[in-house]
Amino acid sequence: MTFPVQGPMRLDDAIESLFGRGARITASRPIGGGCINDARRLEVSTGDALFVKSNRASLTGLFEEEARGLAELACEGGPRVPAVHGVITDGDRQLILLEFIERGSKGRGFFADFASRLATLHRSRRAERAGFAGDNHIGASPQANGWRETWASFFGEQRILFQVSLAERKGIADAVLRRSAERLVARLPDLLPEPDGGFHLMHGDLWGGNYMVDSAGGAVLIDPAVAYGHREADIAMTELFGGFSRDFYAAYRESWPLDGGYDDRRDIYNLYHLLNHANLFGGSYLSSCRAILRRYQ
Ligand code: ADP
């Protein structure tokens, strides 16, 4: 995948390459809210604005993944996604350069529009297998995307058992957790439906902090953890921590009804995120995981 600017390059040169000779940065303002990187709004002498995140160049790959994920999500009729200008390495810093999204507020039809666009995205971006062209991250955790022929095997191996292995390496999982996760995974071919007509592109980390509202009052997707799988997993995650209204679910189902039995599968999908949270933050997340697993023994 290529972007307008890429590779080792000074930020000043990237700005000229993007906005024309003589273009230069006229202002740089820090943006709060991110967990991991230094984020800024850059103003350019041409009147353009950029969103730039930077980190140590030794963390190579993270911004390429993010850029790739955002580019994959950009879809005609889908939710807005910031345009990717590129990923560069300037000395000991790595930078991702994105279109700057000016913030606005939610209008009346915000959630209905967001949901029907999300359904369009799920419907239009398809793959023949479950997985993605490269591994990526979900928050600060690694996410394995090796291709599988079925959603059940992908979700079982690359999502649930992958997180259980991470938990074992961290020393927070015992043999009971491993055995009960394996028992659930063995049942997944009966519990999870395979998608018709190809696997759906999932945002992958669709909680309330990973969409923004732009100045036109529309939803903008950020911080993806993309892979092709089943759209139900995206919808389940929106329900885990809140931040999406009733209109959202009504409009999604109107655009594309969910298969019967989704309510019974929601917790299976969210077990992945709860395991990830247990690995990242510890606390009571592991007991929530055990409670879900107990139902499938
Ligand atoms: P991190 O990778 O450090 O978690 P985020 O990608 O979450 O950083 O970005 C930090 C904050 O910057 C977000 O909470 C959001 O408010 C804002 N933001 C993200 N992308 C853009 C963008 N393209 N334009 C403007 N603001 C953005």
Q: Which CATH architecture has domain 5-99?
A: 2-Layer Sandwich (3.30)
Answer whether residue 202 shows pLDDT above 80: yes
Q: Is 80 exceeded by the pLDDT of residue 34?
A: no
Confidence check: pLDDT of 80 > 90: yes
Instruction: Decide: 269 in ligand 1 pocket, CB within 6 A.
Output: no
Q: Which of 35, 222, 280 to mutate to test the pocket of ligand 1 (most atoms within 8 A of CB)?
A: 222
Other C-beta atoms closer than 10 Å to the C-beta of 197 total: 7
Q: Would you say 260 and 232 are in contact if contact means Cβ atoms under 8 Å apart?
A: no
First to last CA, the chain: 43
Its pTM stands at: 0.95
Q: What is the mean pLDDT of residues 80-104?
A: 96
Q: Residue 36 — very low, low, confident or very high, per pLDDT cuts 50/70/90?
A: confident
CB atoms closer than 10 angstroms to residue 103: 10
Q: Whose CA is nearest to atom 26 of ligand 1?
A: 101
Q: Which atom of ligand 1 is nearest to the CA of 82?
A: 23
Question: Mean pLDDT across the stretch 30-44?
Answer: 86
Residues of the chain with CATH 3.90.1200.10: 110-295
Would you say the CB of residue 208 lies under 6 angstroms from ligand 1? no
pLDDT of residue 131: 98
Give the residue numbers annotated as catalytic, written as ranges. Answer: 205
- Residue to substitute in 36, 212, 220 for testing ligand 1 pocket (most ligand atoms within 8 angstroms of CB): 212
Contact 21, 64 (CB under 8 A): no
Q: Is 51 in the pocket of ligand 1 (CB under 6 A)?
A: yes
The rounded Å distance from CA 259 to ligand 1 centre is 33
| Mean local confidence (pLDDT), 228-255 | 97
User: Where in 168-278 does DSSP place strands (E)?
Assistant: 199-202, 211-213, 219-221, 227-229
Atom of ligand 1 nearest to the CA of 209: 14
CATH architecture label of 110-295: Alpha-Beta Complex (3.90)
Q: Is 221 in the pocket of ligand 1 (CB under 6 A)?
A: no
Across 65-77, average pLDDT: 97
Nearest CA to ligand 1 atom 16: 33
Q: Atom 8 in ligand 1: which residue has the minimum CA distance?
A: 34
pLDDT band at 32 (very low <50, low <70, confident <90, very high): confident
**For position 262, what pLDDT does the model report?**
98
